[in-house]
Amino acid sequence: MAKPMSEQPPVHVQPHHHGPPVVRFCSGCTAPLERRRVEGKVLPVCPRCGQVVYADPKVAAGAIIEHAGRILLLRRAISPARGLWTFPGGYVDRGEPVPEAAAREAHEEAGVTVAVGELLGVYSARDVAVVLIVYRARLVSGTPHAGAEALEVRWVQPEHLPWDELAFPSTAAALTDWRSTLAE
């Protein structure tokens, strides 16, 4: 039976950290983990039961939302990259279809309902935990407003994208790909 919430240990949430998770104890037998070389990599290993903790990638979904020749950008209110611009996006829940995650994030972060369209690209980099999957999307309804994780939201014309103030390299890569689709 699940413990009532008051008896459960606190969970320290780091909503958008990009490094590998720091795991100190074995989830199987609770022994302190040691770092050992496994298949050429140094990974946390349980000295008692032998479980290896593999650091899986984090999958994120993003939506470049088009409306009347502009796209919706938001300025991040949270670390990392606080104060910098990106399109709506965030982590995919386990079991959640990726396009639905992109639409959910657009609603949570910018208050809009969108129709998710074609895949724009998949963005990954060496030693970066996050794999970002970006879709083109179009506005269905809603007036954009900043959610809890955004300082402001704004419709931006393709020629006015804030290249010097983008949140992540993956943001710039996706916007570059999106802009190149306009010339087709």
The tokens describing 40, both together, are: 């050429």
CB of 60 to Zn ion, least distance (A): 30
**Near Zn ion by CB under 5 A: residue from 23, 29, 38, 182:** 29
Residues from 47 through 66 that contact Zn ion (CB under 5 A): 48-49, 51
CB of 58 to Zn ion, least distance (A): 24
Q: Is the peptide bond before 80 cis (omega within 30 degrees of 0)?
A: yes
**Do 84 and 76 form a contact (C-beta atoms < 8 A)?**
yes
23 touches Zn ion by CB under 5 A: no
**90: part of which helix (H) or strand (E)?**
strand 89-91
28 touches Zn ion by CB under 5 A: yes
| CA–CA separation, 159 and 177 (whole Å) | 14
Q: Which is nearer to Zn ion, 51 or 128 (CB)?
A: 51
CB of 41 to Zn ion, least distance (A): 19
| CA–CA separation, 11 and 34 (whole Å) | 22
Question: Using CB under 5 A as the criterion, which residues of the chain lie in contact with Zn ion when the complex forms?
Answer: 26, 28-29, 31, 46, 48-49, 51
